[in-house]
Amino acid sequence: MTPSRGQSVMFVAASDYLATITQLYSGGFTMCIDLTAVDYLMHEGRTLPADVVAQRFEVVVNLLSITSRQRMRVRVQVADGESLPTLFDIHPSTEAMEREVFDMFGIAFDGHPDLTRILMPEDWDGHPLRKDYSPGRIPVQFKGAAS
């Protein structure tokens, strides 16, 4: 465990992800504040603890213990094409958050009850928050502007 900006941070292996979240829940961290992801495609040499192997993606889960007034940040390295187990059975509030991570980054959550797009149309090609996603061009038209 590492302190960062007044919070405890745990770096967890993907294989220990579900067990760690379950143990934290039993220990009082019963509220999941946020679940998101980061694409580190351009930052392969970032600073991590010595025992953590950097991967392209990192899933970040922010938990809160109301009784002890503590926060816990769980960081999990995820390789491109790998998936994580869903936290829905432990924290039902993660249903939409996991769908957003899937939609924007392409990280799948095994066992999720409805892992479909939530922000982009169903037929959208790609995942817009990936660093290698091409934004494309849509011309902007202003009302009354000379063409």
pLDDT digits over 13-47, tens only? 999 999 999 999 999 999 999 999 999 999 878 88
- Give the C-alpha separation, 60 to 34, whole Å: 8
* Cα 6 from chain centre: 21
Domains, the chain, in order of start with CATH, read 2-110 (3.30.460.80)
Tell me the C-alpha distance between 127 and 39, whole Å. Answer: 11
Whether 60 contacts 37, CB under 8 Å: yes
Cα–Cα distance for residue pair 109/137, rounded to 1 Å: 31
pLDDT (tens digit per residue) in 84-121: 999 999 999 999 999 999 999 999 999 999 999 999 99
